[in-house]
Structure 1
Amino acid sequence: MNAPPDGISVGTRLTKEDIEEAFETGFGYRISGINPRRDNQDRRYVLVFANEDGPYDDSVTQGRFEYVGEGLTGDQSETSPDNSTLIDAIGGGIPVHFFYRSESDGRWEYRRLVDVLDYDFVERDGRDVLVFGSDGMKAC
């Protein structure tokens, strides 16, 4: 899925159900942060979600994001399924669709396709966490 589905563009605000319908996927009872998926031709893509009031210290500013990997306790791992998918996406190998939700709005804003450029382990609160960096957001 190298482009957003029809009807989805930068700034579109969507409910969980809208996203499930547009991307032909299901999340169960809630959306998690990193969601590896496959399209109907078995090509990989990722849906990434950041919450303003979420449990991670994600940062979204002026076309760049720093996204904290999967795992709320202990050291995070490069080999966890979701973190390894974002690592695989470095260099544009896998399309990454980025969504953001502010505290004031229960809907997800589609920000755009992003390029994951790098990642690093960072010590935070006594544990090692993966921080993924992106800039150079793609136009949709």
Structure 2
Amino acid sequence: MRSPPPGINIGERYTQDDIEEAFDTGFGYQISGINPRRDSQDRRYVLLFANEDGPYDDSVTRGRFEYDGEGLSGDQSESSPGNSVLIDAISAGTPVHFFYQDSGDGEWEYQGLVDVLGYRFEQKGGRQVLVFEMEHQGTG
């Protein structure tokens, strides 16, 4: 899915139900950060979420930003489903659709497609955490 579905526009805010309906997917009770998906033609894409009040210290700004990988305890792994799809996106060009939620807000702002530029391991809280460098498309 190289572009958002109809009705999903950069800068607009959406509920979880809106996102599930537009992308024809279900998240269950709660949205997780990294969501690998496939479209109707079986092409891979990712729905990526960051929350100001979330468990990670994602520094999200327009342009370039850093995004912590998945895994809340112990060292994070390059082979976990979410982390591996972001690593693959570096070379495969997998579309990554990015949503951000402000503190205390129940809606998600669609910030458009982002590119995964690279990643590194960083020591945080006594464990190894994958930190992905990303950039909003059209800002580089």
Give the Cα–Cα distance (whole angstroms) in 2 for the partners of residues 92 and 84 of structure 1: 12
The C-alpha deviation readout for 1:16-67, integer Å capped at 9, x for no partner, is 0000000000101110000000000000000000000100010112322210
Contact 2:60–2:66 (CA under 8 A) maintained in structure 1: yes
Report the Cα offset of residue 91 of structure 1: 3.9
Equivalenced residue count is: 139
Query: What secondary structure does 2:116 align onto?
Result: coil
Map 1:1-140 onto structure 2 (within 5 A).
1-91=1-91, 93-138=93-138
Give the Cα–Cα distance (whole angstroms) in 2 for the partners of residues 76 and 38 of structure 1: 24
The C-alpha deviation readout for 1:63-119, integer Å capped at 9, x for no partner, is 222100000111000000110000011145210000000014210000000100000
Return 5+ residue gaps in structure 2 as ranges. Answer: none
Query: What secondary structure does 2:84 align onto?
Result: helix
TM-score, normalised to structure 1, is: 0.95
TM-score, normalised to structure 2, is: 0.95
- Following superposition, which runs of at least 4 residues in structure 1 exceed 3 angstroms of deviation? none
Give the Cα–Cα distance (whole angstroms) in 2 for the partners of residues 32 and 10 of structure 1: 20
Bigger drift between 5-14 and 94-103 goes to 5-14
When residues 13 and 136 of structure 1 are mapped into structure 2, their CA distance, relative to the original with a 3 A threshold, is: closer
Bigger drift between 33-42 and 86-95 goes to 86-95
Give the Cα–Cα distance (whole angstroms) in 2 for the partners of residues 32 and 127 of structure 1: 21
Counterpart amino acid of 1:85?
Answer: V
Identity of aligned residues (%): 69
Return 5+ residue gaps in structure 1 as ranges. Answer: none
